[in-house]
Structure 1
Amino acid sequence: MATYYMYFPFLTCENAYSMTLAVRAVVELFRPVKREKEIYREILAFSVSHDHRLVRIYGHYAVIDGVNTTFYRHTIHTFDSTALGGEDRWTAHKFTKNVYNTWMPTHFKRLCSAIDDLPLELDFDVRPLLQGSGLSQGLESHHLSQSLAEVLSLPPFSKQTEKRG
């Protein structure tokens, strides 16, 4: 039933909206198999936000109340990468490595288990998160069918708990 076209992002840099969508996708996966309690108030995604000095690491989760879901982000850690002679400069890197090496394998197994439990006749008809946001308008002009070689040749770029939803 699962295909290589299925994606469940769990880590992003500077994009709370993307993580809200990612958490929502996990909630919508667990609803039809009646396993919402497994993910209630559990961190399902992470984001790292930064500027030239400050770094903020967030965990994203959902509070599920019947058919209603509210999305939140929780501040895990905030620090100044330049303070104390740059003593904390590797903190975000270490955190990210731990997300991939420790948290993600368990999360992936949970996702696979939910996918395996999905009924064959299921039709995911998910309502838009933000009605009339205009985010899907004009995608035709963005050449979404770039080849992998084109994407890989692009130059590199640098660059508290809050309610979302």
Structure 2
Amino acid sequence: MYFPFLTSKVQCGESVLDIANRQNAHSQTIALRGSLALFQLVGRQHELNQEVNSFSISHSDACVKIWGYYAVIHGQDFSFYRHPIAKFDISRTEDIYDLWVPGHFLRICYVIDMPTADDLVNQTA
């Protein structure tokens, strides 16, 4: 847990993103209970009712999911829920390494191997 309002879990593999989501949900439930208890001490728990108060980021080597967490307060009882904020695929970043990096690396090597103006002056002297 980075802060009481942000958690992040990383898992690798096809189906393990659900494990990261459950771990984040557990951590966020604990964090929301703490926030709710704090607000209850001063009688301001209504400010947290049905408002997203924390976030989690779950990701694998291919996918990222961002969730928002909130409490629903019914008198002295409360329940915790999560809402999906975003989901996106990050596997296309491999194309950067496979397609773009080789040409960029060659360009850098070419520039490093180029003689500078000082080198040219020293060669003619």
> TM-score with structure 1 length normalisation?
0.44
Q: Distance in 1 between matches of 2:37 and 2:7?
A: 20
Bigger strand fraction: 2
> TM-score with structure 2 length normalisation?
0.58
Map 1:3-42 to 2 at 5 A. 9-14=4-9, 15-42=24-51
* More RCO (CA 8 Å, sep 6+): 1
Q: Which amino acid aligns with 1:42?
A: E
Structure label with greater radius of gyration: 2
1:85 deviation in Å? 7.3
Q: Distance in 2 between matches of 1:46 and 1:59?
A: 5
Instruction: Say which SS state the counterpart of residue 21 (structure 1) adopts.
Output: helix
Give the paired residue count: 80
Where in structure 1 are there 5+ consecutive unaligned residues?
Answer: 1-7, 88-165
Where in structure 2 are there 5+ consecutive unaligned residues?
Answer: 10-23, 97-125
1:84 deviation in Å? 8.2
Q: Distance in 1 between matches of 2:7 and 2:39?
A: 22
1:83 deviation in Å? 4.1
Instruction: Say which SS state the counterpart of residue 27 (structure 1) adopts.
Output: helix
Corresponding position of 1:71: 80
Bigger helix fraction: 2
Q: Given the superposition, is the C-alpha separation of residues 43 and 86 from structure 1 closer, same or farther in structure 2, using an over 3 Å criterion?
A: farther
